[in-house]
Each structure stands twice: as structure tokens, then as C-alpha cells.
A and B are shown apart, each in its own frame.
Chain A
Amino acid sequence: MALARRRLTGQEACPTTDTIKTSVGKRVSLFVTCLGDQLFPNAGMAVVEVLERLGYAVDFPKDQTCCGQPAYNSGYREEARTVARHFLKTFESSEYIVVPSGSCTSMIGHHFADLFRKEPETLARVEALGRRVFEFATFLTEVANVEDVGARFDGIVTFHDGCHGLRELHIREAPRRLLAHVRGLELREMLPAEECCGFGGTFSVKFAELSGAMARTKLEAIVQTGASAVVSLDSSCLMQIQGALSRAGSKVRTMHLAEVLASR
């Protein structure tokens, strides 16, 4: 790997935005995700804006579609493998792949290996690919090595931990550190922040009533914080939360972390 990955302890002095010059000339490929591409393009554009502000040249491999998670989670392994192979072909030449979703990142980084356990050659390729795939917030704190992206957002927000980012990728601190450096922003944690919003892909329609009940429990936690926006790393969680907020007539808005970080 070209850049050494470094873990921050939180005690270290925060780098200023001056450090961004060091990353000029670096290339990253964006996997915007199918949901992000079709329904939440502004979140994808915000990712591009933040990365470019940090001096990265962003590339969008145009053959990209989906990571295959809907098929994998629904039990259709062969169909998931087909889509995963397409992803591999599309992104294999990329040095870094940035994904504005913890869930899709985990699918590529963890579950692709499960899909190709019986194909050693492909397995080696997906494992190599997996090491170059980064969830957006983690990319900023661990690869770009930055916490202050020069953002300004006036208001109170709360943060929803997406389950796959939190429990499969162990992302908890990165987004919070990034939010802590946004001028004018106050982060108020909801209790509990780590409880599932009830989306779960096809679960949200296969068990719609149950999924809806889970979303409403999440909503109570969000509303209690008094925040005007709920921020997350996954557009999928945000779609669920926003749909439930809208149904409940709430004025709280949903924002991808990238949209907050792109604000100035």
C-alpha cells in the first residue's frame, strides 16, 4: 500500500488544513453506490467536493453499478457473485476506492471474500481490492489523515451509527472527530445512537411493519436530541429515517456526513 495507515488516538494535535497539500496529486476512485447514484446524487457530489478540496483527483469509473449486497443478503449467492465480479473488474485498477456507505464498504471488504472462498485466484484479487476500499469518513481520518476539512455548518445535529459501519468496520470515532471540527456545529448524541434504524435492505419491505416500528423507535431518539438534522454515513439508513420523519410530519432533515463536510 502506498500510504501507511495510521490510527489516531484522539490525543494527538489535530492537523490543520495546511496538511492537505501533502495529498495533492493523489487519485481516488469513487464508488458512489447504486442508491447514491440514483436517489442521493447530492451526497455523492459532496464527497467529490470534499475530496477535491483536500487535493485529491477524483475518478468515477463509469461502468460501476452495485456491490451486489441486495442479492447476497437475500440469499442469492450466485447472483451476488456475478455482480461482485463486475465490481472487481471495474475497480481493480484503482489505487483507492472511496465509498460513501459503511454497508457497501463492508460488503466489498468482508463479504466478497465469503463469496469467493472456493475460487482461490479470485479470492486473492478481492482481498487485495478489499484492502484498498475505504468508507468515506475512515478515508479522511486514516488515509488523508485529516479531521478538519474546513467545513462550516450552523446548527445542532445528531449522528446515527449505521450498523455495518459500526459493527463490521468498527467505525465510531472517525465521523465524530470530523464533525467536531465543523465550525458552528453542535453534535448532540442520541440515546442509543447505535440501535438499528430498521432498514436492513429487503428486510424493510419483507417485514415492512416491523421495520417501520424500528424506525419509529429511532425517530423518538432523534427527536429527543432537539437536533435539526440527523447525519449518517449511509444513504440507506437515511432513506429509512427520512421516510419515517416525513411520514411523522417532522421537520428534522437527513444529511449524509459528506453533505455536512461540504458545507462552508
Chain B
Amino acid sequence: MSAVFDKKIHQTLADANLQLAIYTATGRLKDKRTESVAEALMPEYQELRTQANALKKHAIENLDYYLEEFERNVEAHGGKVIYCKDGTEVSDFVLGLAKERGVSLLVKSKSMTSEEVDLNERLEHHGLEAVETDLGEYILQLGHERPYHIVAPALHKTRFDVAAIFEKELHVAYETVPEKLSQIARGVLRQKFLDAGIGITGGNFLVADSGAVVLVENEGNARLTTTAPRIHIAIAGIEKVIPRAQDLAVFLKLLARSATGQALSVYTSFLSGPRRAGEIDGPDEFYVVLLDNGRTKLLPSRAKRQSLYCIRCAACLNTCPVYRKIGGHSFPWVYSGPIGAIITPQFMGVSYEPSLPFASSLCGACAEVCPVKIDIPQVLLDLRSDVKKAETREKKNRLEKLSFRMFAWMMTHPRVYAWAGWMARHGPILNVGPVRAWTSQRDLPPRPRQSFRDMWSRR
């Protein structure tokens, strides 16, 4: 385990207030999800999951076809599609357009994809101001933090934390009433929407047959981001494409329920192209940036490409006993929780944080709630194997490799195994290595004098 990963886990576990905040907030989301998909309320839930899985599987296996169809339809509506292989290409495009149009202020609605490529930092580096307009994201931007959670980015912040951030960064009086805090943010953000030249959003779904970008949100800020500024840029991963508008009947039902327990999010926007002649709303220019950033690397593996089915509902985070202890910032990249543990090594390479796929008890709670049925534990197991293969190639962690070779030898030699068991039960206990790690938290079980096979043979 890297020292940074270890330290962040330790710090989060040691912070009692933070522990309570994470456990309470995820518990609430988890319970709401459970209630909203209960058999009595939604008898078709399991069938919807099966269909969602089949649709995603089909879309990913025919990604080239659907992306081209999507592109054709966006362009037919007067929009433009830009393919970017990484974050540099995304920021080059946005910077170039901003410079050409003389834009210095941009507003953004919540987008994990833009977080993934550090878009804000890249734009700020070139003197542009990009303002987050989702309340949680705005709080974090003011506090100079990255999202703690895929859906609820400021999940770890109490209202007192927010009050302190607003007081310091916005120079307003210390205020802890949530409604009043929202009003403060709203006051600042309204003017930003009106002044901004470009609005940047993510994209929950890219609908191939209609060339539409679908955005799902609760605050209305995405709708303002896409309509107030003259230019709208949607940035989405290539895996977000779905074949038909009718497929949304499956995905929208699952997304809101899995994320927050809502039957439907407050705002669902279908955006296809710039404002047409005679329309009163909408931007003059409409761009969809389709980002690869490592995604195509997953396509060849049948077992692993299911990681691209994810619709970013974060149900796996809320139910994960590991996420609920170590929180979002312990994870090495922007994506946290079980889904982060499987996509980080695949997008960034297994050596990015080799111990990440091992930071799981493989309890499977994530797979149970995943609306698109990604078998996260199995992908973790496959990634563990990848990590060990890489270590063997690079001649790293050789002691562990040797110990597992000895394990295999012992387990194929029953007499050696029985002898080793006797030693473990009767020999001195050396408080080192795994024993020390075990006893740092728990007591050892009492050691029986006889093994089962001893008892059996004396019957």
C-alpha cells in the first residue's frame, strides 16, 4: 500500500466527526434507495436492471456504430461533436473556443468527466474563470477540494463547515441555516450565469437516435448553464451513448432511484443542438466533447469492459462498508467507492495505486445494488490478478509471491499442511507480519489442541 493511501485511510478513520458525517449521509441515501426500489413499490425493478444491463452491453459492444449515429444526429441539429483523447485535448478545445469568442467567464454544472481531466485547473491556469454552479460543487470549489462523492460531492461537509467556507471566501456573515446558505450561493451564482459566455455541463446519457444530450439534476443549475450563456459545451465519456430515446424509460427510472431514492430527478433536460430560428431559449452554439481518456483500453476485455456500463448513480458508494469508513478523499483518483476501485486501475493503469483493488472485503454489496449489474467484485478479482502479474514481471513483492507458492505447495501436500497446522496451534506465536496486523485490532482465536482431523481419526 502506498504511504499516501494508508495515511488518508488512517486519518479518515481517526476523525470521529467525519466518520459520523459519512456514515449518516450515505446511510440516508442507502435507505432511500432501498425504499424506492422495494418490491411493493416497484415490482419491475429487477427486470429493469436486467434490461439496463443488456442495453449497456449492446451499446458498448457497438460503440463505434452508436457514436457515429449520435454524431450525425447532433450535426443534423446544428451542433458539433469533438472527439478528445485526453484532458489536454479537452482544455485546448475549450480554451481555443473561449479565446476566439472573447469569453473569460464560464459556468459549469456538475460533471465528473470534467473533474477527471482537471478542467477547472487547466482553465484557471490560462486566466479563465470557471465557476461551479451545483451547490455542493460550489462549496468545494470555494474550499479548494475535489468531490467526495460522485453524486453528493460535499457529502462530508456539515452546515457549519459550509458556513465557515462562505464566511472566509465570500466575506459574508457566519450563517449556519441551510436555506440561508443556499440563498447566499444563489445570489452570487445568478450573476455568474448572466455574465458567463460559455456554459459547461456533463452528459448523463447521449442518445444516438436523436442526437440528444440528457442531463439529470435537482437544482436547476444545469438548465441555467445550458440556456443562459451563448455557448453550451457538454463533456461526456464515450461510454455514455445509448441507442434510442426509448431506452431512457429504463435508465431514468433506475438512475434517480439508485442515486437518491427519487422516482425522477427534479429536472431532466433533453438538449439537441443550438437554438433554432423562432425559438426563444437555448445557446447560439452547441458542442459535445466526447472523451476517451483511457476508456477504449477497456474494450478488448469481455470481463472488464462492463466497467463502462456505469451510469454514475453512486449507489455502490452508499452501500459499501469500505467507502462508508474511508470516505471519498482516501481514494487515489476522482472516482471513489467500488466503481472508483475498478475504473481507476483501468483508466490510469494498475500501478497508479496497486493496492486499490485489494481495499475490499469482496462483500458484494455493490454488485447487489448496481442498477446496470456490473459485477464489481469479479472485476476487482481480475484486477488483483493483473496487479500480481505486473509485480511478477517487474520482480516486485517477491516475498509475497514466494509465500503463495509455498501455500500452494503446502495445500497439495496434506502431511505438510497437517504439520504446519500443528505448529500454528502449538508453536510460539510470533507477533509479526499478519499476526501483528490482526492483533492490532482483534484478539486471536483460542488455539485448540487438536485439529478436526485429529479428532476425526480418534473417533
Kindly list chain B residues whose C-beta atoms are within 8 Å of the C-beta of A75: 357-358, 381, 384-389
Kindly list chain B residues whose C-beta atoms are within 8 Å of the C-beta of A209: 9-10, 13, 440-441
Quick one: CB contact mask for A56-92 with B, threshold 8 Å, 1 for yes?
0000101111101011111111111011011000000
Q: Is the interface of B mostly helix, strand, loop or mixed?
A: helix
Q: Does B424 contact A (CB under 8 A)?
A: yes
Indicate if the CB atoms of B447 and A39 lie closer than 8 Å: yes
> How far is it, in angstroms, between the C-alpha of A242 and the C-alpha of B442 when the chains are bound?
8
**Measured between C-beta atoms, what is the minimum distance from B445 to chain A in Å?**
5
Kindly list chain B residues whose C-beta atoms are within 8 Å of the C-beta of A199: 361
Indicate if the CB atoms of B448 and A240 lie closer than 8 Å: no
> How far is it, in angstroms, between the C-alpha of A240 and the C-alpha of B365 when the chains are bound?
19
Question: Taking CB as reference atom, which chain B residue is nearest A80?
Answer: B408
Q: Does B363 contact A (CB under 8 A)?
A: yes
Indicate if the CB atoms of A60 and B408 lie closer than 8 Å: no
Indicate if the CB atoms of A206 and B381 lie closer than 8 Å: no
Q: Does A128 contact B (CB under 8 A)?
A: no
A83-B411, A167-B368 known; A240 and B442 CB under 8 Å?
A: yes
Q: 8 Å CB contacts to B: which residues of A197-244?
A: 198-215, 217, 239-240, 242-244
Quick one: CB contact mask for B320-364 with A, threshold 8 Å, 1 for yes?
011001100000000000000000000000000001011111111
Indicate if the CB atoms of A68 and B441 lie closer than 8 Å: no
Q: How many B residues face the partner with a CB closer than 8 A?
A: 61
Indicate if the CB atoms of A167 and B387 lie closer than 8 Å: no
From A45, A65, A203, give the contact of B358 (CB < 8 A): A203
Q: Does B421 contact A (CB under 8 A)?
A: yes
Indicate if the CB atoms of B442 and A210 lie closer than 8 Å: no
Quick one: CB contact mask for A77-117 with B, threshold 8 Å, 1 for yes?
11110110110000000000000000000000001001000
**Measured between C-beta atoms, what is the minimum distance from A256 to chain B in Å?**
12
Q: Does A160 contact B (CB under 8 A)?
A: no
Q: Does B443 contact A (CB under 8 A)?
A: yes
Indicate if the CB atoms of A247 and B362 lie closer than 8 Å: no
Q: How many A residues face the partner with a CB closer than 8 A?
A: 70
Q: 8 Å CB contacts to B: which residues of A152-207?
A: 163-164, 166-168, 194-196, 198-207
Indicate if the CB atoms of A206 and B1 lie closer than 8 Å: yes
Indicate if the CB atoms of A163 and B388 lie closer than 8 Å: no
> How far is it, in angstroms, between the C-alpha of A168 and the C-alpha of B362 when the chains are bound?
11
> How far is it, in angstroms, between the C-alpha of A40 and the C-alpha of B447 when the chains are bound?
9
Indicate if the CB atoms of B360 and A203 lie closer than 8 Å: yes
Q: 8 Å CB contacts to A: which residues of B415-459?
A: 417, 421, 424-425, 433-434, 437-438, 440-445, 447-448, 450-456
**Measured between C-beta atoms, what is the minimum distance from B447 to chain A in Å?**
7
Kindly list chain A residues whose C-beta atoms are within 8 Å of the C-beta of B368: 167
Q: Is the interface of A mostly helix, strand, loop or mixed?
A: helix
Quick one: CB contact mask for A33-44 with B, threshold 8 Å, 1 for yes?
010111111101
Indicate if the CB atoms of B412 and A214 lie closer than 8 Å: no
Q: Does A32 contact B (CB under 8 A)?
A: yes
Indicate if the CB atoms of B361 and A196 lie closer than 8 Å: yes
Q: Does B43 contact A (CB under 8 A)?
A: no
Indicate if the CB atoms of B424 and A38 lie closer than 8 Å: yes
Kindly list chain A residues whose C-beta atoms are within 8 Å of the C-beta of B440: 208-209, 212
A62, A66, A111, A210: most-surrounded residue (chain B CB, <10 A): A210
Q: Does A246 contact B (CB under 8 A)?
A: yes
Q: 8 Å CB contacts to A: which residues of B231-275?
A: none
> How far is it, in angstroms, between the C-alpha of A207 and the C-alpha of B9 when the chains are bound?
9
A72-B381, A74-B404, A213-B325 known; A62 and B9 CB under 8 Å?
A: no
Indicate if the CB atoms of A243 and B443 lie closer than 8 Å: yes
Q: Does B367 contact A (CB under 8 A)?
A: yes
Kindly list chain B residues whose C-beta atoms are within 8 Å of the C-beta of A202: 358, 434
Indicate if the CB atoms of A39 and B455 lie closer than 8 Å: no
Indicate if the CB atoms of A196 and B321 lie closer than 8 Å: yes
From B9, B365, B381, B447, give the contact of A195 (CB < 8 A): B365
Question: Taking CB as reference atom, which chain A residue is nearest B453?
Answer: A37
**Measured between C-beta atoms, what is the minimum distance from B331 to chain A in Å?**
13
> How far is it, in angstroms, between the C-alpha of A209 and the C-alpha of B438 when the chains are bound?
9
Q: Does B405 contact A (CB under 8 A)?
A: yes
Indicate if the CB atoms of A62 and B414 lie closer than 8 Å: yes
Indicate if the CB atoms of B401 and A76 lie closer than 8 Å: yes
From A40, A63, A64, A247, give the contact of B441 (CB < 8 A): A247
Indicate if the CB atoms of B437 and A71 lie closer than 8 Å: no
Q: Does B93 contact A (CB under 8 A)?
A: no
Indicate if the CB atoms of B444 and A243 lie closer than 8 Å: yes
Indicate if the CB atoms of A214 and B364 lie closer than 8 Å: no
Kindly list chain B residues whose C-beta atoms are within 8 Å of the C-beta of A246: 442-443
> How far is it, in angstroms, between the C-alpha of A83 and the C-alpha of B401 when the chains are bound?
15
A73-B384, A76-B401 known; A36 and B365 CB under 8 Å?
A: no
**Measured between C-beta atoms, what is the minimum distance from B431 to chain A in Å?**
13
Indicate if the CB atoms of A168 and B364 lie closer than 8 Å: yes
From A62, A64, A76, A111, give the contact of B388 (CB < 8 A): A76
From B424, B438, B448, give the contact of A42 (CB < 8 A): B448
> How far is it, in angstroms, between the C-alpha of A112 and the C-alpha of B327 when the chains are bound?
33
Q: Does B407 contact A (CB under 8 A)?
A: yes
7 contacts between A and B (CB under 8 A): A40-B445, A74-B358, A75-B357, A75-B386, A203-B361, A210-B13, A215-B442
* Sample of 4 more A-B contacts, CB < 8 Å, known A45-B455, A207-B1: A34-B411, A200-B361, A206-B355, A208-B441
- Which B residues are within 8 Å of any A CB, using their own CB? 1, 9-10, 13, 321-322, 325-326, 355, 357-365, 367-368, 378, 381, 384-389, 400-401, 404-405, 407-408, 410-412, 414, 417, 421, 424-425, 433-434, 437-438, 440-445, 447-448, 450-456
